Structure 1
């Protein structure tokens, strides 16, 4: 069942595929499709081979890893492989949920479309089963969650953010450099993944000046992943803005830093998008001027 959400004035439309891991396959506004084309998913294959494009929810890891207990977590987690249950849906909103198979967690997401924005609200709860081994504790189950939208990158498309420093995670981990304010897909060769720890807003801007602006709840999502790919993992150039609970893609490397979800204490956060034409775009806030 495909779910199509539309703003009351028709300015924004969002398409969701609950059976395909709850994936958002289209965000259309200002006369543009913002997401990269979303090909059909095959959950029997690896993430990079399973179908590109769209917006996936990624948890409880991004990179495949082994937790201290020996528990194996698959590449980009398991949410994208699982069908989601639609709990409530209308013209402008949809709430759906999914129970992870790798860890005892349930994720619920509500998407609300308004004339000037798309808001995604999340809540994660422990399913009640005990996580075994070193990844569990009295304080709950660790959660590495990341938004995983792949935005179409045409010549001149660039990422802008108010971050001051970024740290590389792929292809080499650990290098920190001063962020120049923007980086275009034209200036990247291959694929790069970096993290910013002091960003409060981020944008995808196309050559014609139209832009998508993203904000998020920084208390729960203290890091922002930045991704450029000219054709290594995706068939077409893409860029990504990835608010996340962790500073690395490998959950096992930062497991002691991750937020934990207890049996009676939900973890909640939000991500908000606005799409604007060039003449509607305000300037970015001063770099390093606090968190949103």
Structure 2
């Protein structure tokens, strides 16, 4: 397990990730709160949703298992989460890890950096073969969602297009974006956003910002216990408007040999209003 931290008191941010377990971020402590759902053990040979669902994974090169036009089979939630990552460098407040995927010729690197009240993640995708590789990447942080937790985006609330339990049709926002308005699980996509916020019942919030040029789509997820062991919500900036790479392959950015793609995310935590 690798740990990095910075700041003091309520401004302290501490992150832990496990390079042996797909570099899954298992803990994000900030402002005295653990933000992520627990990360139970899982089977890398199984399906992602049948394993210990929790923490924060890197999902690439697909979310839903699918078969590409050339016959390449992409596994459930990709294969970055199934593999051991190599820690390239690590210090008290920053760490870089990388992995070479098996399903497609792609190397994927992530640098985490913490400072007072903030976590920044920077990514680089590099083609390792002679051809370009379509890139479906999605952040996959599963945040603990006790009663009263809600997802907040811009005003007015953007239109949502359903992905689960049904893909395609528009869906309504849960009441106030809250976990209390969901019965079961709901996954939907929207676009045109560069930030979103998780807010707990006490008003404390975590705001996620991202590189909207590289990540033009946003997946939003509410689950009261269908896939995760406890209620969770997720803010998932992504390169795709669907979970299956095969459904949107012609729309995906392509990682060309010699031309890595780069993008970033940043999280900041605030205190409840007085």
**Normalising TM by the smaller chain, what interval?**
over 0.9
Aligned to 1:117: 118
Q: Are 1:271 and 2:271 counterparts?
A: no
Off by >4 Å, runs of 4+ in structure 1: 177-181
Maintained 8 Å contact 1:161/1:181:
no
Aligned to 1:284: none
* Deviation, structure 1 residue 183: 1.0
* Deviation, structure 1 residue 8: 3.6
Aligned to 1:289: none
Q: 247, 252, 256: which is aligned to 1:262?
A: 256
- Whole-Å Cα distance in 2 between the matches of residues 160 and 12 of structure 1? 22
- Whole-Å Cα distance in 1 between the matches of residues 147 and 172 of structure 2? 24
Aligned to 2:153: 161
Tell me the secondary structure at the aligned position of residue 19 of structure 1. Answer: helix
Tell me the secondary structure at the aligned position of residue 110 of structure 2. Answer: strand
Aligned to 2:197: 203
Q: Are 1:227 and 2:221 counterparts?
A: yes
- Whole-Å Cα distance in 2 between the matches of residues 55 and 30 of structure 1? 18
TM-score (norm 2): 0.95
Aligned to 1:27: 28
- Whole-Å Cα distance in 2 between the matches of residues 44 and 255 of structure 1? 25
* Deviation, structure 1 residue 200: 2.1
TM-score (norm 1): 0.89
Aligned to 2:102: 101
Maintained 8 Å contact 1:8/1:92:
no
Q: Are 1:217 and 2:211 counterparts?
A: yes
Tell me the secondary structure at the aligned position of residue 80 of structure 1. Answer: helix
Q: C-alpha root-mean-square deviation of aligned residues, in Å?
A: 1.5
Aligned to 2:240: 246
* Deviation, structure 1 residue 179: 5.3
Aligned to 1:174: 168
- Whole-Å Cα distance in 2 between the matches of residues 176 and 44 of structure 1? 34
TM-superposition CA deviations, 1:201-226 (whole Å, max 9, x none):
10111101111100000000001100
- Whole-Å Cα distance in 1 between the matches of residues 252 and 133 of structure 2? 9
Maintained 8 Å contact 2:174/2:182:
no
- Quick check: 159-168 or 261-270, which moved more? 159-168
Tell me the secondary structure at the aligned position of residue 37 of structure 2. Answer: coil
Maintained 8 Å contact 1:160/1:181:
no
- Whole-Å Cα distance in 2 between the matches of residues 110 and 181 of structure 1? 36
TM-superposition CA deviations, 1:95-130 (whole Å, max 9, x none):
010000000000010000000210000000001x24
- Quick check: 211-220 or 170-179, which moved more? 170-179
Structure 1 residues 232, 211: CA separation in 2 closer, same or farther (over 3 Å shift)?
same
Maintained 8 Å contact 1:164/1:178:
no
Aligned to 1:126: 127
- 5+ long unaligned stretches in structure 2: none
